[in-house]
Structure 1
Amino acid sequence: MVSLTALLPRLSKARGAAALLGPAFVAAIAYVDPGNVATNTQAGAEYGYLLVWVVVAANLMACIVQYLSAKLGLVTGQSLPEAVGERLAKRSRIAFWLQAEVVAMATDLAEVLGGAIALNLLFGLPVLLGGVITGVISTVLLAVQNRSGQRRFEYVITALLLVIVVGFLAGLFVAPPSGAETLNGLVPRFGDLNSVVLAAGILGATVMPHAVYLHSALARDRHGKQSPERLPDMLRTTRTDVGAAMILAGAVNIGMLLLAAAALGGRSGVDSIEGVYGALNGTLGGGIGLLFALGLLAAGFASTSVGCYAGSVVMQGLLRMRIRLLLRRTLTLIPALVFLAAGADPTKSLVISQVVLSFGLPFALIPLVWFTSRRSVMGDSVNRRPTTVIAWLVTAVIVALNIALIVLTLTGTA
């Protein structure tokens, strides 16, 4: 029988480990946002189980990227934007920030649009009004972080993540996918050129620049730069945090594709979120459609607040200036609302936002791998050679596919 004296240190260690959990679940919101809904459901509806392997690969890549981001924040006590800004001249820092700010606006457009579409589906609200409401709710969520601290914000975002999980996966219990077809979908292959474009879109919607920037800041703010003695345990627990969050996000992404393959395969008119909602209503019933719309609403609310938080991290790290988070929320909301007020097509707007996001990925991934692979930056926690090789390979694949997506979209092939 274990004595209380022997048990107390174990309990204390367990509490310390549990305190590390949370940042990855906030970053994981970027992996289940409205852009993911659009690409995954379209892939399943058009190609069945063909691109299951792409979703799995994308989430494995995301797991590596997010761990390296958290690792940088823990070891150096700096966010990725701070590490970049420290090594750039003033003009270069401003140029880097400008591209990151454009990417942040594109991110906000997709997230606000997702919430607006959900409110339109649920209550028939005009898209512009839905965008305003989404912005107001996200401002309230940011106020939680501003007043109650990061930990409370993580709780709220994790709760919304659970709503997303239920909303997007409930349909699988009504229309379970084929196990044999799912396994067959794990074999890497493509069908035609459009399936390659969709694969690039899935990857572009999965690995997102603002999640990479933010995760390093969340790890930094929670724990600061750690002593060498504590780092091994903290990094192990961080791996658990990232692994659990990415498994959850990956399950949602795979589930969305499988649901579309099982219930919507071969149906017309499912190349938009509204079309998917209508098809789910008609095929699986109003209850599943309602849960899907609620999941989309939670994704819009959570992802736009997380995106705005990430934008403030980038601004602070690169420009070395801080503005009130709520003021930034208001300023970054304006471009998205102008876009909606102009009557832009929701589906095309999502596609445009994903292409813009593709431009920003190399600026986040290349410095991240470079920093975590250098002993002068990371000390004894520098990446091991196999990790460095895998990380550069992942970066090369992501950048190449996103360049392909940009070229195919701009040339009209996509």
Structure 2
Amino acid sequence: MFATDQTRLKMSAVLSGERRGWSGKLLFAGPAIIASVAYMDPGNYATNIQAGAGYGYGLLWVVLLANLIAMLFQALSARLGIVTGKNLAELCRDNFSSPVVWIMWAVSEIAAMATDLAEFLGGAIGLALLFDMPLMAGMGVTAIVTYGILLFEGKGFRPMELIIGAMVGVIGLCYLAEIFVAPIAWGDTATGLVTPELADAAALTIAVGIIGATVMPHAIYLHSGLTQSRAVIRTESERKRVVKYSNWEVVIALAVAGMVNMAMVMMAASAFHNGHNEVAEIETAYHTLTPLLGVFAAGAFLVSLIASGISSSVVGTMAGQMIMQGFLHFRIPVWLRRLITMIPAFAVVAMGVNATQALVVSQVILSISLPVPMIALIIFTSRRDIMGAYATGKVMRTLAAVGATAVLVLNFVLLADTFGIPVPFLAS
């Protein structure tokens, strides 16, 4: 706990005015960085590859819009934890009836497991391709590494934040390298960011996938838990400063996540759009990248995928623990949760199910469960008896309601399309 205790002491010095400068403000960074991993998980890879390969730079504006919505909800989640000292799951348990709480827990637990399935498979796919090993062996290595990282959680929040932050850095550097290797059309990139248009019904389907699966249920729960007791707050002025620092961290961390997603689309647009626009799977993208952009670009792609899979799998397990403890006041050993969440992934591979298809199914499950935390977060952050002076004002409530409505409607469209239910303007 030494690193964490030292960090808390330094944070208190910053809040009291004894310590100044950017180095002090950086002590408050961590929660949003961990939450941002959810927006760079393997589930994003396939969607972004499809967007870039099929439509070039034309869907970059969708990525930007999705990122802005994510910023809003992660900022609200962080504020909830800082102001109340409780996480979202705990507040649900305290304010809703027992039957509702049990249903919310079950839905949220399934969502956490579905998230972990996608993330675990993504890391395993990356390892299997990079080291030319069977997918099952890649899954075994992923399991060992993620469990090893999870052991650091017992040493306090700072070591885990530094580990996850390093992995986010690896993902960012890999894609920074990618956009220098790939011949990016920067003019088309700028146009794609500010020109909201959809070329056809299939583009709408991909756009729905990008936005509809952007706000991750487990990230909303987790962020409130990461901030609820991180800093020792003694006065109301200190609380205001912590909320301010949190807002800035959310903007910066989610901006980085957004840029990584944009870089994925840009790389796919540059490499695949002209001549290989049928590329839609992670494995195909890797094998196609090698002859097009070289071994370095393909290797950087896999390294980023491995870092994404492992870090997001760790974060998914942390979120699952928080969800169970918050809703039920019950916690299981981390090795048992890791084992439980691994079983579906191993079963999928053992049955011969296509790994990329499994990622798609996991996103559908997330879409079903998403309304639970989003609506609960809007309710609690707007209540003055819970948030006091920090309750959201009319403008913020309106933005949150519009963002939630957009995401939930698009999730419904995604589900309808997945299950073959006709949707106006979506039928090809």
Q: TM-score range by the shorter chain?
A: over 0.9
2:158 partner amino acid: R
The residue number in structure 1 matching 2:145 is 137
- Where do residues 15-414 of structure 1 align in structure 2 (5 Å cutoff)? 16-146=24-154, 148-185=155-192, 186-223=194-231, 227-266=235-274, 267-411=276-420
> Distance in 1 between the 2:358 and 2:75 partners?
31
- Alpha carbons 1:315, 1:321 under 8 Å: kept: yes
Q: Provide closer, same or farther for how the CA distance between residues 13 and 262 of structure 1 changes in structure 2, counting only shifts above 3 A.
A: closer
SS at match of 1:221: coil
Deviation at 1:325, TM superposition (A): 2.1
Deviation at 1:13, TM superposition (A): 7.0
SS at match of 2:37: helix
Farther off after superposition, 325-334 or 72-81? 325-334
> Distance in 2 between the 1:64 and 1:358 partners?
18
- Alpha carbons 1:17, 1:234 under 8 Å: kept: no
Deviation at 1:167, TM superposition (A): 2.0
Deviation at 1:269, TM superposition (A): 4.6
Farther off after superposition, 77-86 or 333-342? 333-342
Superposed CA deviations along residues 189-248 of structure 1, whole A, max 9, x for unmatched, are: 111111111111112342111111100000013136764221211111101111110111
Q: Provide closer, same or farther for how the CA distance between residues 189 and 226 of structure 1 changes in structure 2, counting only shifts above 3 A.
A: farther
Deviation at 1:15, TM superposition (A): 5.5
SS at match of 1:188: coil
Q: Provide closer, same or farther for how the CA distance between residues 20 and 309 of structure 1 changes in structure 2, counting only shifts above 3 A.
A: same
- Alpha carbons 2:53, 2:278 under 8 Å: kept: no
- Alpha carbons 2:175, 2:301 under 8 Å: kept: yes
Deviation at 1:14, TM superposition (A): 5.3
Deviation at 1:86, TM superposition (A): 1.0
- Alpha carbons 1:69, 1:368 under 8 Å: kept: yes
1:181 partner amino acid: D
Deviation at 1:62, TM superposition (A): 0.5
> Distance in 2 between the 1:291 and 1:128 partners?
22
> Distance in 2 between the 1:94 and 1:270 partners?
42
Deviation at 1:88, TM superposition (A): 2.0
2:223 partner amino acid: H
Deviation at 1:350, TM superposition (A): 1.0
1:160 partner amino acid: M
- Alpha carbons 1:277, 1:293 under 8 Å: kept: yes
2:187 partner amino acid: A
Farther off after superposition, 402-411 or 188-197? 188-197
Farther off after superposition, 350-359 or 219-228? 219-228
Deviation at 1:103, TM superposition (A): 0.9
1:170 partner amino acid: A
> Distance in 2 between the 1:213 and 1:83 partners?
11
> Distance in 1 between the 2:234 and 2:213 partners?
33
1:220 partner amino acid: Q
1:211 partner amino acid: A
Deviation at 1:411, TM superposition (A): 0.6
2:171 partner amino acid: I
- Alpha carbons 1:75, 1:225 under 8 Å: kept: no
Q: Provide closer, same or farther for how the CA distance between residues 364 and 241 of structure 1 changes in structure 2, counting only shifts above 3 A.
A: same
In structure 2, stretches of 5+ residues that fail to align are 1-15, 422-426
- Alpha carbons 1:204, 1:357 under 8 Å: kept: no
> Distance in 2 between the 1:372 and 1:226 partners?
22
SS at match of 2:237: coil
> Distance in 2 between the 1:9 and 1:74 partners?
19
Q: Provide closer, same or farther for how the CA distance between residues 214 and 226 of structure 1 changes in structure 2, counting only shifts above 3 A.
A: farther
> Distance in 2 between the 1:234 and 1:13 partners?
15
Deviation at 1:91, TM superposition (A): 2.2
1:102 partner amino acid: I
Farther off after superposition, 401-410 or 218-227? 218-227
> Distance in 2 between the 1:120 and 1:255 partners?
23
1:217 partner amino acid: G
> Distance in 2 between the 1:68 and 1:120 partners?
38
> Distance in 1 between the 2:55 and 2:174 partners?
23
1:168 partner amino acid: Y
Residue-pair matches, total: 406
Farther off after superposition, 165-174 or 298-307? 165-174
SS at match of 1:323: coil
Farther off after superposition, 264-273 or 337-346? 264-273
Deviation at 1:27, TM superposition (A): 0.4
Superposed CA deviations along residues 66-86 of structure 1, whole A, max 9, x for unmatched, are: 000000000000101111111
Percent identical residues = 40
- Alpha carbons 2:61, 2:195 under 8 Å: kept: yes
SS at match of 1:370: helix
Deviation at 1:16, TM superposition (A): 5.0
> Distance in 2 between the 1:94 and 1:224 partners?
32
